[in-house]
Amino acid sequence: MDDAQTSDLDAIEKMMVSSLQPVSPRPEFVEGLHRRLTDPMSPTVRFTRRFSYQFVLLVLATLLSGIIFFLTASRVIISLIKEFQLVNPR
């Protein structure tokens, strides 16, 4: 490597040393995130196993309700159709 090339690279290094300074986060952000990370009651912290279990139960209950609703609605519609045929025979 010749001298000119070395001095070019040195100049770039010097510029990077002076330009790339660490940037500090906002203190409110640091404190807020600390609270969220270490507060077990915070809902935004993480999904604990218990929460996941509850979530699965909720999904199952929703599915079951959906099936019951679907069956009931089908029976109602079928009854209405039958009723309509009785009232208006061909």
Partner 1 sequence: MPELSDEIALKLAAQGDQEAFGVLYERYVSRIYSYIYYRTGNQHDAEDLTARVFFRALRHVENYTDRGLPLSAWLYRIAHNLVANWHRDNSRKKEIPLDEIILVRHGGDLPEMVLIENEEKENLLKVLHRLPDDRQQLILLKFVEHLSNAEIGQVMGRSEGAVKSLYHRTLLSLRDDFNHPLMSGTTESEKQE
Residues that bind partner 1 (CB under 8 A): 7-9, 11-13, 15-26, 29-30, 33-34, 36-38, 40, 45-46
Q: Which is nearer to partner 1, 44 or 88 (CB)?
A: 44
Q: For residues 65 and 7, what is the distance between their CA atoms, to the nearest angstrom?
A: 75
- As measured in angstroms, the least distance from the Cβ of 30 to partner 1 is 6
For residue 69, give every residue at least 6 positions away whose Cβ sits within 8 Å of its Cβ, in sequence order, or none: none
By CB atoms closer than 10 A (0-12, 13-18, 19+), residue 42 is exposed
- As measured in angstroms, the least distance from the Cβ of 31 to partner 1 is 10
- Tell whether the torsion through CA atoms of 24, 25, 28 and 30 is positive or negative: negative
- As measured in angstroms, the least distance from the Cβ of 12 to partner 1 is 5
Q: Which is nearer to partner 1, 21 or 88 (CB)?
A: 21
